[in-house]
Structure 1
Amino acid sequence: MFKPIIQSRFFQIRSKCTRLFFLTVLSANVYAQSSGDVLLHINYENGTLNSGITGVNPTNATASDAVYMVQPGAMGNYAVAHKVVYGDQGYYSNENWRSESDADRFKAARFLPGDERRYEFSVLLKDWTPWKAGDPTNETNIFQLKVSGGAGVPLQVRTQRNAMRLRFAVENNVPPADIIPDIRTYVNQWIHFRIDVKWTDTNTGYMKTYMKLPGQGSYALVDEKTNYRTYPGDGLGGQHGYIKWGIYVTPPDMIRVAYHDDIKVIYLGGPTPSSEITNGEIVYAHHHKLHK
């Protein structure tokens, strides 16, 4: 488990025989030092909807069960659940049937052209209603790499009919990629994702999506984009990218529930991000052994 960097007036370091105390100011910057540093790790192990991290927004939906904790998680004791009931205004937010968490306000986890990042998350489709011929074909998003300011969405992990697919920015004019032809086999089981991205606003980037299905011991590459424009905006005027997870859009007259856990943003390269630490805030920036 990754240990958080917790802001305090003193950091205490213990060795066998010596205690050293280092004075640190109440507001400081935390920098990624090398490839593999974890910029954000949301594991919900403290049992709270934002995993105890300032800058993580659990949902904008108002229903009492639009977001809630569940046990067990993918690897630990807790995970978060998002729920959307089509037609109930309590599950309508940001102009659609939606209950999503986001890390938009956690600045160290944002992305801009020039950044290289790894994104990891685990998802469980809870009692997912199967699609039948003649049913509406609305897609349901479960994870997004999003850009602010109305730019195209670089990547959406979503379901349509009985498939799980990747959808890419409209500006790139590339077709969706079906990565699980039939998800019914994997309902109520954890599916694990790893997405490596070099963020560029020219055709020099890459986006590689890996997946580990139940029963698999390692991740498999399921989609790869190279020499590819990954960032659809320009990164100017405060525009930036961030992650979202939960439920976004559901077919008419349907209830959708998804669990998420072990959400990470990992530094792979590019400018070193910083994050101002305020009193009591937890910031993750510890090294993570990278696996291919």
Structure 2
Amino acid sequence: MYVPKSPFVAALLVGACGACFAAVQTPLVVDYETGTANSGISGVIVTHATAPDAAYVVADARSGNYAIAHKVTLDDPAYVSNGSPRSESSTNRVWSSAGIYYDNTEAVYTFSLSLRDWQPSTSGDEDILWQFKHNQGRHDIAIGLQRNALMLHWNGNANRLALVQNVLAPGNSLSNRWIDFRFRILWRSDDTGWFVMDMRLPGETDYGHTVTRTGISTFDPTPGTGTFGYLKWGVYRNDGSTANGDPATRIVYHDDIAATQIDTLFVDGFEAAATR
């Protein structure tokens, strides 16, 4: 029987945290322990970029044995998909899992990422590293790196917050080290939605750096957009330009991606169960 490598995920899957969650629905676990770029899940899209090294499995994992790397090199059409330089995996075809989210649903998400040999950009162009992506629309929530700051976005780019300044500072760079994220989100198209984001930086034992936003729209209500959202991770360099001084190549690793839809969340229980 397959046993997830993350204790947090395992607790959700086997019901060890039954006191914390009133109902647990179809969890998604993408931890790459199969050694394959889709983590053994047929619906996970690995990348639409055509370069042979646009996405590949690596042995430098957050935990366990494997993680995934995404690579984008500017000015090379092999790293372009949907008209932009990007290489991203996504869950928009994993229909039966919590990798798909809908209006009026609630979920917990965890993932880890590692910037590989990154140098600061002087142009101010941002590289997107993680998206809660609204189908046929903008990202509902996203994580990116702009110049030397790790950024959090919500409601597309309408709201932006620097989570960490000087991420790539000489002598204290977070490059080639793992950063862990945890999101708790109530998806709502009206102004009753909310999210809580926790982060764990290298060397830290517990999650912290908490960002909470309540009374907001978390699910894009724009007419004409899709009826669901999904998870997307990799490198998206929409505005990247070597002519403007952006580094030609960016590589990022992701690991320990998990999503669990829930009906009822008890905050105290969540805090105890979600620490891995």
TM-score after normalising by structure 1: 0.77
1:205-244 aligned within 5 A: 205-233=193-221, 239-244=227-232
Q: Tell me: CA distance 1:186–1:149, structure 2 relative to 1, closer, same or farther (3 Å).
A: same
- Of 126, 129, 135, 1:142 maps to 129
More deviation in 227-236 or 159-168? 227-236
Q: Which residue of 1 aligns with 2:59?
A: 71
Q: Which residue of 2 aligns with 1:276?
A: none
Any idea what the Cα deviations from partners look like across 1:135-174, whole Å, max 9, x if unmatched? 2111000000011122x32111000000001112248x43
Q: Tell me: CA distance 1:98–1:83, structure 2 relative to 1, closer, same or farther (3 Å).
A: same
Q: Which residue of 1 aligns with 2:166?
A: 182
Q: Which 5+ residue runs of structure 1 have no aligned equivalent? A: 4-32, 271-287
CA contact (8 A) 1:91 1:98 kept: yes
Q: Which residue of 2 aligns with 1:165?
A: 151
Any idea what the Cα deviations from partners look like across 1:5-45, whole Å, max 9, x if unmatched? xxxxxxxxxxxxxxxxxxxxxxxxxxxx8445561000101
Aligned partner of residue 183 in structure 1, secondary structure: coil
- Of 75, 80, 100, 1:87 maps to 75
Q: Which residue of 2 aligns with 1:111?
A: 101
Report deviation, 1:46: 0.9
Q: Which residue of 1 aligns with 2:259?
A: 265
Q: Which residue of 1 aligns with 2:245?
A: none
Report deviation, 1:67: 0.4
Q: Which residue of 2 aligns with 1:245?
A: 233
Residue 68 of structure 1 aligns with an amino acid whose one-letter code is: Y
Q: Tell me: CA distance 1:289–1:35, structure 2 relative to 1, closer, same or farther (3 Å).
A: farther
| Structure-1 separation of matches of 2:49 and 2:234 | 11
More deviation in 59-68 or 242-251? 242-251
| Structure-2 separation of matches of 1:206 and 1:47 | 35
Residue 47 of structure 1 aligns with an amino acid whose one-letter code is: G
| Structure-2 separation of matches of 1:53 and 1:178 | 33
| Structure-2 separation of matches of 1:220 and 1:190 | 15
- Of 34, 37, 43, 1:46 maps to 34
From the CA coordinates, give the structure whose radius of gyration is larger. 1
Q: Which residue of 2 aligns with 1:21?
A: none
Aligned partner of residue 113 in structure 1, secondary structure: coil
Q: Tell me: CA distance 1:100–1:237, structure 2 relative to 1, closer, same or farther (3 Å).
A: closer
Q: Tell me: CA distance 1:178–1:38, structure 2 relative to 1, closer, same or farther (3 Å).
A: farther
| Structure-1 separation of matches of 2:212 and 2:175 | 25
- Of 125, 141, 144, 1:155 maps to 141
Percent identical: 34
Q: Which residue of 1 aligns with 2:13?
A: none
Report deviation, 1:97: 0.4
| Structure-2 separation of matches of 1:47 and 1:188 | 21
| Structure-1 separation of matches of 2:22 and 2:119 | 43
Aligned partner of residue 154 in structure 1, secondary structure: strand
CA contact (8 A) 1:143 1:156 kept: yes
Q: Superposition RMSD on alpha carbons, in Å?
A: 2.3
TM-score after normalising by structure 2: 0.81
Residue 241 of structure 2 aligns with an amino acid whose one-letter code is: P
Aligned length: 240
